[in-house]
Amino acid sequence: MVEPWIRNELARRYHRASDEGAKAIVSEPRAASVRYDAGTERIIVELTNGCQFVFPPQLVQGLAGAPSAALAKVTVTPTGWGLHWEDLDVDLSVPNLALGIFGTRAWMQVLGRRGGLCCSQAKARASRKNGRKGGRPPHASKLIHEGHEARKKRWTLRAPG
């Protein structure tokens, strides 16, 4: 037989979790519908608050390189907090997508490196401009360290007296 205090504690936790779930339904972004637009190569998510969220599948782990036919077979999970591709065996969190989280930490690091390698005309102009100014400015911690070293020299070079 279950002790009364255990039954009371379970009931209390159940009600608290139910209240938190109700708050989350109102406050967190949830998908009402989703579709893949092959013309723009974008996934379009309609949110329950009337907003739209659009993202390129090439940025998303598990969707990058997938054929259009497979990308078009996307469904919204019953809660609206997820997107599901049965053929690709991919499930994504709508709140994470809205925050720009498109995969695991390792996947996001690869995306970051890829972005850093990008060469655009604006990036090339900025690099040339910095080169004319003498190159990239030193990191602030290096400047602080150099200033500290200069102060130490000043103190050691003074004549006693």
**Residues 66 and 139 reside in one and the same domain:** no
Residue 21 lies in a domain: no
**Can you count the helices (H) and strands (E) in the chain?**
6, 6
Number of structural domains found in the chain: 2
41 with 62, same domain: the answer is yes
Per residue in 85-102, pLDDT (tens digit) is 999 999 999 989 988 899
59 confidence band (pLDDT: 50, 70, 90): very high
The dihedral over CA atoms of 135, 140, 144, 146, expressed in degrees to the nearest 10, equals -20
Domain of 139 in residue numbering reads as 119-156
Same domain? 136 vs 73: no
Whether 4 is in a domain gets the answer no
pLDDT tens sequence across 98-145? 888 998 888 888 888 776 666 778 878 887 888 888 776 666 556 555
pTM summary value: 0.60
Alpha helices in 118-160 (DSSP H): 121-132, 140-157
Q: Give the CATH number of the domain where residue 47 resides.
A: 3.30.2020.40
Burial class (CB in 10 A: 0-12, 13-18, 19+), 123: exposed
Q: What is the pLDDT of residue 25?
A: 77
